[in-house]
Structure formats: C-alpha cells, structure tokens
Structure 1
Amino acid sequence: MVSLTERLKTRVPTWQRFFQRAREDARNPAYDLLPVLGLDQRNGFSRTLAAFSPKTPGLRPTDAQAILHDQLRHDGLTGLQPPLPAGVLSDLVSYFKATPCHDPYRPHLGLFDWNQPPSDEINIGYYTWEEVLRAPHMLDLMNSPDILAVAEAYLGCKPVIDNIGAAWGYPGRNTAKGVQRFHRDYDCSRCFKAFYYLTDIDATSGPHTYVRGSHQDRRLESGKAQTDDAIIEAFGADAIETITAPAGSWFLEDVYGFHKGQLPADKPRLLLAIEYNLYPSPLSPKQPLMERLPQHDPYINKLFLK
C-alpha cells in the first residue's frame, strides 16, 4: 500500500509546498489532497458536499437521461450517443483548424497550424481555455440540458463546468505521452467528462480507451500512469473498452476510472472534452473569460462566464 506522503507527492513534493499552494489559490488544497484520500473518503466527502450545494427544483430525469446516469454509475462510461448535427460539427472543425495550436510542455516551439506541428516531440496540439470557449456552439454544448440533468443526478447537485479542452493527437510518434497512457484524473472528488469526437475515430486514429468499473475500484491507486500490462493484470482484458465512432459522436465518462487516448497510428484526431465537477478545480481560470447570456445558469457556468 502506498503511504499518504507518497500519494501526496503525485501532486506536491512536500507538505510545506502544499501549504504554500493553498495560500496561492484556495482551490489547490482539495485538488492536491485527492490522491491522498481513499475511495470511501472521496465518496463520503462528495455526498456531504452535494447535500449542501444548489439543486434544480423539481428536476426529474427523462428515461433517456436516467439510462445515461445508470450506465455512468455502474460502468463509469455511457454508450455512444448520436452524432452532433452536421452543421455544428462542420463549424467546430473549421474553427479549430483555423486556430493555431500550442504545446504547453514545449512553449519554446510557439504556435503552429493544426496539421504542422514543428517537432516530432509534440504528440498533442492543445488549445487554450479561451480559444475553446469561443468555438462556435460551445456554450450550447457545455449547457446541454441532457448532460446537465445527468450531471445533477450523478453528482447529487448542480454541477460546476470545469476544465474544458480541445486537442489534436498526432500520428507517427514512437512513444505515448501524458494522457496517452492509462491514468486516473484526480480533478474533483466526483466528476465526469463529456467527450466529443470531432474527427472519425477508428482503431488507427487514437481511439479513447476506458477500463469499465475502475471508477469504483482502488486497484493501482498510486496517482501514477499505468502500463497496459498492469491494467490487464489488475482488471482483466475484458474490462477494457476501446471506443471507435464517427465524427460528432459523444459519450460521458467518470474520469477517476482508468482511461487514455491511444497514440494515433496513421491520422490525426480532434477531441473536445467538457468536465462537470462538484466544485472548482485549479484546472479552470481564476476569473471568468466571457459574458454570460441569460439562458445560462450562473452557478453552473461561474468559472467561465461572468
């Protein structure tokens, strides 16, 4: 069993640094302590927090929403949902192709076109929060009534939209990096993401892969990325689901469960992700970036819309 101090080191090297980060940003303590807490502790904290958080009066999920909730609760992963309308998908892809990417881990390489990464060291081309937020239809996707209803049922209260992102994965790389290896997300004590495939994803274009049931399983609870062999030994090959689907398809996933985006083999992939949390994490801006429209719930959108 990994010690508490060793688990803390997955986020910060020392308790002194932990307290320093707490002074820098009030969101950091809950974020930094997540790898330290056990599954039962996280679940208990989530239930307590949800009990005192805002809720939508009279909200009753539809049958379709209830199915998504049950799939998410049982497996940590929902089935594939029907693709976005063709016009919405086209607008999103055109926007991201026209917006330069960057690699935050190699800032010296600067901005680059989506299909022209300046170095083979770059496995993933990212967009900033503001660039993603300004994408066409983005606010509607973030505030999808179906997803918000599932979120409230799953979290036990209204969600907070947190940690939005879009990125290209590039083929022809020899080594998987970062989120291309099996990992758990320790962003919030309970959360999930909506993943949108914006390009066609087959077995050779970097499909998303998830370990069903691992969102309620403490095996390999180390805070570190895991090899495929370790995942198979712990959970069995039958628990691993590789998700291929046409462009525009989407699904929901509890990202505490082990997951990864596979290294693309022969063509780039574009993925959009929106996270729904119990509370804010440091993975969102300190101040909102855009004006909120009247139809957008102020609590749900408070991290990005003012």
Structure 2
Amino acid sequence: MRSYYQSLWSKFKRNFVQYSFQAIKDPKWFLMFCVTRIQILRSIGILVNRRAIDQTYQKINQGNNTLFPNLDIRKICETLNEDGLFLGINLPSDILQEILVFSSSIKYYANNNPNLKFSLVDKEKSELKYQQNFAMATHVHRSILCPAIQRLEDDPTLREIAARYLDTNPILIDTRIRWTFPVNDPLNESVRGFFNFHYDLEDYRFLKFMFYLTDVFPLDGNHVVAKGSHKRKRLRDQFSLTRDAIDQDILNYYGHDHVESIYGKAGYGFVEDFYCFHKATLPISSNRLILEMTFAMNHYSSLG
C-alpha cells in the first residue's frame, strides 16, 4: 500500500505543472479532462460536441482517391462501437516502404522527453550522452515532409470512418512515428505508464489509426487492448487519479477473451477508441516501429 501511494505522489508531482499550464491555456481542455473519465459525463460531452457532418464526408468517393477501397466502413464503425477496436486496415506496400525510408532519416526524442533529441544512427552515442537507455523514441510528424503519410492523413475512407464514429467532422490532431526498444534496465518513470494498462483523455471521443511498420509477433512489443472497456469501466477506474490498472484486474474484470494482443506483419493496421484500456508491451527480441494518427471531435490549444 505504501508503494502505491508513493507511486501516486510521484505521478502527481510529475504531471501537476504540465496539467496546470494546460488548464490555464485552455479551460475547455481542463473541463474535458476532468469530466471525460466518468462515463455518464463523457456521454453527455459527446452529445454536446456533435456537429453536422459536411457533405465532404457524407458523399465520399471511394474510387481512386482512397488507399483502402475494399474496407466496409459500416462494419468497421459497428465493431468500433461494440469493441472499441477494429483489426485489419493494411497499408499498401509502396506506402509502407516510403514511410520506412522516411522514418530512418528523421530526428526523434527519447523517453517522452522532447529535450532528448537524437537520430537513429546515433542512438548508442545519445544514450551515453544523456546517461539513460532509450525505451521509446517519438517523432511528431509534419505530413508535408512525407507524402505517403499525408495521403494517409487525407485518405477519404479513413476520414469517413472517423466522421461516422465521432459523429462529427473529424479533426486530425496528431500524427506520430514511435519506436520501442528492448531494454534490460528498469524503465524511466516518464515512460513506465505506456507499458501498463491505462486509458487516454485527449477528447470526449477520439480514435487512433495505428499501423505496424515492422513485423510484430510475440516478444516484438505488441499492442494490447481490453475490448469493450470504452463502454464499461469500474467506478474505481472512472474516479482513479492515475487512469491505470494492473494486468490481473483487467483480466479478472473483462475476461481473457476480451483482452486482445495484436500481432501482424509490417503494414498491419487497426483503429481503436483510446478510451479503452490499452498498453504497449516492451519488445524483447527486436525494435518495434508504429505509425499513429489521431482524430478527435475537438482540437484544444493546450495540446499544440
């Protein structure tokens, strides 16, 4: 029990300044962040934030404009509503290769700290320089630098899925390329939470399209989701200050058959409501690379 309160205090100290700054910068974000964890208030927030969908999304042309002409949008949205997760949105091979080339040439920041900048070719030197092992590396993307990613961001089928699920014109709020690396040392406090079950609060409702850019099989750092947890949470999880849960609690409450470990070859993709409990796993055998695109109902100034 003592270790729990020590961990809670550590997280509070780490996040207090950041959350206070964001609350002052954007009170609407602070309201959302406070009420969305409680499911009934989240549902009210979703209703209030719905807006009429433009004809752009109502009369979408899935011909040559989309990279995903064979996806069943209605089925995907039904599955998202039920499970908070849909699997099997796969990248064309030429798009995958272009993103891989791009990912090898860009700068990243390590361990969720924008001050720890490095290039992949200098990873070992940078670890020595910053005196810590890198468990994670992130690049927040500007799509103009990579046409393949820009095509994904603008893809009419993906945007139609987002529009129907969010029930409003979707707003692209973030695109990231993220590495996770095998490490033997204890994880840095700033990244430890990524590898524990948790749920996110970036808007009243939002979703992420995620694409593995490397093969991900057991021991390769797969993503894990508790299906249906976007609609059903224990009261203790709704009122928790940390929004995380231990593995056994998740398995006991939702059942083993609802906890999905996601594997696939490079290019394998899925879409998820990140109000679901989810986590990354730490790779053991090889580095993992993933592309994430986040669509939401609103864009808050506190989030950049």
1:284 CA displacement: 4.2
Residue 244 of structure 2 is aligned to residue 232 of structure 1 = no
| Separation (CA, whole Å) in 2 of partners of 1:284 and 1:26 | 12
Counterpart residue number, 2:107: 100
* Conserved 8 A contact 2:180-2:221: yes
Contact 1:197–1:271 (Cα < 8 Å) also in 2? yes
User: CA deviation digits over 1:201-228, x for unaligned, max 9?
Assistant: 1111111110010010122332432221
TM-score (norm 1): 0.78
2:96 pairs with 1:89: yes
Partner of 1:162: 173
Give unmatched runs, 5+ long, in structure 1: 1-5, 286-306
CA distance, structure 1, for counterparts of residue 122 and residue 183 of structure 2:
13
Normalized per residue, which structure has more helix? 2
Q: 2:3 corresponds to which residue? A: none
Find the aligned partners of 2:116 and 2:38 in 1 and give their Cα distance: 39
| Aligned match of 1:73 | 81
Aligned-pair CA distance for 1:156: 1.2
Contact 1:208-1:262 at 8 Å conserved across structures = yes
CA contact (8 A) 2:112 2:137 kept: no
Q: 1:13 to 1:128 in 2, by over 3 A?
A: closer
Deviations 1:137-157 (A, max 9, x none): 112111221111111111111
- Tell me, yes or no, if structure 1 residue 126 matches structure 2 residue 144: no
CA RMSD of aligned residues (A): 2.8
SS where residue 162 of structure 1 aligns? strand
- CA gap of 1:76–1:283, structure 2 versus 1, over 3 A, is farther
The total of aligned residue pairs comes to 270
- Residues 234 and 106 of structure 1: is their aligned pair in 2 closer, same or farther, counting only changes over 3 Å? same
Higher strand share: 2
Secondary structure, aligned partner of 2:282: coil
Deviation of 1:21 after TM superposition, in Å, equals 4.1
Please state if 1:213 is matched with 2:228.
Answer: yes
User: Compared with structure 1, are the counterparts of its residues 28 and 11 closer, same or farther at alpha carbon in structure 2 (3 Å cutoff)?
Assistant: farther
Are the equivalent residues in 1 in contact too, given 2:210–2:293 (CA < 8 A)?
yes
Partner of 2:270: helix, strand, or coil? strand
TM-score, length basis structure 2: 0.79
Q: Structure 2: any 5+ residue segments left out of the alignment?
A: 1-7, 63-70
Q: Which residue of 2 aligns with 1:298?
A: none
Alpha carbons of structure 1 residues 280 and 100: separation in structure 2 relative to 1, 3 Å: same
